[in-house]
Amino acid sequence: MADKKVEAITSMEEDFAKWYTDVVVKADLTGYTSVKGFMVLKPAGYAIWELIQKQLDERFKATGVENVYLPLLIPESLLQKEKDHVEGFAPEVAWVTHGGLSELQERLCVRPTSETLFCDFYQKDITSYRDLPKVYNQWCSVVRWEKETRPFLRSREFLWQEGHTAHATAEEAQERTIQMLNVYADFCEQVLAIPVVKGQKTEKEKFAGAVNTYTIEALMHDGKALQSGTSHNFGDGFAKAYGVQYTDKENHLQHVHQTSWGVTTRLIGAIIMVHGDDNGLKLPPKVAPVQVMIVPIQQKKEGVLEKAEELRQKLANVARVKVDATDKSPGFKFAECEMRGIPVRVEIGPRDIENNQCVVVRRDTGEKITVSLDELESKVAELLETIQKDMLETARAHRDSHTYVAKNWDEFVDIVENKPGFIKAMWCGETQCEENIKDQTGASTRCMPFEQENLGDTCVCCGKPAKKMVYFGRAY
């Protein structure tokens, strides 16, 4: 007898925010802690992050990235060297004032991001053009003292990777900035099955200390946008503030040009909100810790558990697979598989065994297929690929059908109020207009997409000549 039930979760239509929290909890991704704003990543949640990390790290390394580890703490004086950067981060850092039993001579902040540490390190480590480029990355956690927190989307500590590079020329830095944005975009589509819009952030929205910030923006099921990864070109601003110089081939002293780029556990929030439904999580096979769950039916009957184990061993060649042999009812197990987002469920009972077949169920569509046991391995392998592709196409169709064009202010307001989604509109380039739009509608500029379209000649807000087509949206 099971001692707990898969309880129904709030429906998405009823309350999307509550649906989200319900899924996070019921799918056992995170746990609460006694430290306000901090979360526990439980095995089911952390295993998704491990799969993200592994596959992203492989893509990084294929482009020449090397991993390093820098200190957790930053001296206050080091943080303060780059003006915009310290203004951006100082209000939200945690300060260490005591080490052991004594007060520190200088406060240290827990890293909110590590530009300053990398600059300090590069300043010591780079002397000649022969030392360039440096293409380093670290996987770690950072702390930002957020007021409002939500699991994965915004918390006081989160896991991420931060790449930090130093180059001899501005061109090379710009190339690396875009290269990494493309790595992120490709990763989101091919691994997370999440289509993204690539583009540049406006002056107002760019990173503290950057010359340019580029972003990938994804659309959640509720029509709100989620900034899913960013890549920054710093030019030589940080290098000048921190004295990061090298001698070039002609023996002249030059400043390096730098970039940084990062994605976080926020991507898990994106997976939940792009793919999930009222039965719970839906994991794309490539980031599903368990890809196939075998559920034995009438498992007490002779030979059923043995057969389930036999199938598990076979399927282990093509998938991450488990058998649920607990004493819960099959119906309960089905619901639990769905809640946890397991892409494929295999049902096997006495009658199936007699007929040398089993029932295979897709989490993404709910479709049931009867498969001969002789073909199970190849069918499941094929199905996992199909599900991965179909989930991307479903998400793309949703994104495209929730992307609207606003040619004038009335249309803009109407869309924001009645049709949650991306809004494409022309913009004059002035921060003032951007702020007006945000104040009046809650929609912010998500990015100036690389793929520009000419939707008209005037700014959707002020009517002056337009400079850029922009994606707007309400955002997480």
Chain contacts with its own copies (rule: CB under 8 A): 3, 31-35, 38-43, 46-47, 49-50, 66-75, 78, 91-101, 108, 110, 117, 120-121, 124-125, 128, 130, 136, 140-141, 143, 145, 156-157, 159
Q: How far apart are CA 121 and CA 86, in angstroms?
A: 18
Residue with tokens 């959640």: 220
The minimum distance between CB 157 and its own copies, in angstroms, equals 5
The minimum distance between CB 387 and its own copies, in angstroms, equals 25
CA torsion, ordered 22, 23, 29, 35, to nearest 10 deg: -30
CA neighbor of 188 nearest in space, from 158, 229, 225? 229
Q: Which is nearer to its own copies, 34 or 454 (CB)?
A: 34
Q: Give Cβ neighbours of residue 37 (< 8 Å, ≥ 6 apart).
A: 145, 146, 149, 155, 156, 157
Q: What are phi and psi of 254, to 5 degrees?
A: -130, 155
Q: Which is nearer to its own copies, 108 or 197 (CB)?
A: 108
The minimum distance between CB 29 and its own copies, in angstroms, equals 11
Total Cβ atoms within 10 A of residue 422: 27
Q: Are 424 and 470 in contact (CB under 8 A)?
A: yes
Secondary structure of residue 464 in the 3-state scheme:
coil
The minimum distance between CB 298 and its own copies, in angstroms, equals 22
Q: Give Cβ neighbours of residue 172 (< 8 Å, ≥ 6 apart).
A: 133, 257
First to last CA, the chain: 41
Q: Which is nearer to its own copies, 136 or 207 (CB)?
A: 136
| Both structure tokens of 147 | 């007021």
Q: How far apart are CA 108 and CA 399, in angstroms?
A: 43
DSSP alpha helix (H) spans, 374-418: 376-401, 409-418
Q: Which is nearer to its own copies, 117 or 376 (CB)?
A: 117
Q: Which is nearer to its own copies, 140 or 397 (CB)?
A: 140
The minimum distance between CB 454 and its own copies, in angstroms, equals 44
The minimum distance between CB 233 and its own copies, in angstroms, equals 23
Q: Which is nearer to its own copies, 16 or 122 (CB)?
A: 122
Q: Which is nearer to its own copies, 109 or 225 (CB)?
A: 109
The minimum distance between CB 66 and its own copies, in angstroms, equals 4
